[in-house]
Amino acid sequence: MSLPINGIINVNKPPGITSMDVIRRIRRVSGLRRVGHSGTLDPLASGVMVVALGVAARLLEYITELDKSYAAIIELGKSTDTYDGEGEIVNSESAVIVSDSDVRSAIQTFKGTQSQIPPMHSAIKVNGVKLYNLARKGITIDRAPRQVNLYDAYISDFKSPELELQITCSKGFYVRTFANDLGIRLGCGAYLKELVRTSVGKFSIEDSFNLDFIETNFQKNNSRIFLHKLETVLDPIPKLQLNFDETQKVQNGISIPAEGNHKLEINSPISMALTEEEKLVAVMRFNEEELIWKPEKVFRDQMQKIN
């Protein structure tokens, strides 16, 4: 009997398909139903898409919180109703006179924490309905702004009207909205022409795998070459090495004192508790008032294989 497949795949999503298309293909070739991802990429976008299999899906909420980086090509002088190349052009300038310094000055105004209004053409749900479904019917509704962070954006190439930027941002940041807002700031309009997600936390595009490679190796029962183990996917957060008694307590939802070796790990609000055999027991959260590590997610499926 084969062991269940649990882990994370760093997928290099190709342009032209949806994020759900990626999930369907991996479900089909892996034979698993429990497959999820840490954040949608638009159909035109490509790059890093973190996909979780089996019980690893329970770790996605932590991966979703990680910062992202992108390589974006923005065309100046045109605006579209979707803020990207899939939409209809709603404004076009006959000439674009924008310098490098103009762009750098405009970008500077967006750096740091900002309120960003999600585009109508997005997968966000309002009253259970995805915004893009309303947008396709010609319906526009008010959207609540989101607090996001633009940590950095710099010019990697600029041959007007095409501007290439390297962007580092928080979760929830819409590069399409940023492109549209940047065009407004520059006074010429702009839309997102191409987008590549280059990293999600520690998962980089250099270490990603394309779908054909993943499918081929699943068919060869060789998934270990691209599957990240549960115990490493949240690195570099600290790890608590538990003895047998502590393992039994945590497995049953009982907190453990943040003392001894465990006290040294209090530089992060969460940690991963591992058995003496280096198997994941739980994600733990530090309680500062009580000076304890409290089990937040216990992985009993993992424990069944070692008990």
Edge-to-edge order in the sheet of strand 270-274: 239-241, 270-274, 280-287, 292-298, 256-257
Tell me the pTM: 0.91
SS3 291: coil
pLDDT at 301: 58
Strand partners, 70: 167, 197
> What distance in Å separates the CA atoms of residue 251 and residue 66, rounded to the nearest whole number?
27
**Which parts of the chain have pLDDT scores under 50?**
1, 303-307
| Residue linked to tokens 């991966």 | 63
Compute how many other C-beta atoms are within 10 angstroms of the C-beta atom of residue 251. Answer: 20
Catalytic amino acids? 42
Reported as a single tens digit per residue, the pLDDT across 72-106 is: 999 999 999 999 998 899 999 888 899 999 999 99
Contacts of 213 (CB under 8 A, 6+ apart): 226
pLDDT at 304: 42
Signed CA dihedral, 42, 173, 206, 53: sign only = negative
Reported as a single tens digit per residue, the pLDDT across 120-172 is: 777 777 777 777 777 777 777 877 888 999 999 999 999 999 999 999 999 99
Q: How distant, in Å, are the alpha carbons of 131, 147, 166 from that of 100?
A: 35, 28, 14
pLDDT at 99: 95
pLDDT at 24: 97
Domains plus CATH for the chain?
A: 7-65+203-228 (3.30.2350.10), 68-197 (3.30.2350.10), 239-303 (2.30.130.10)
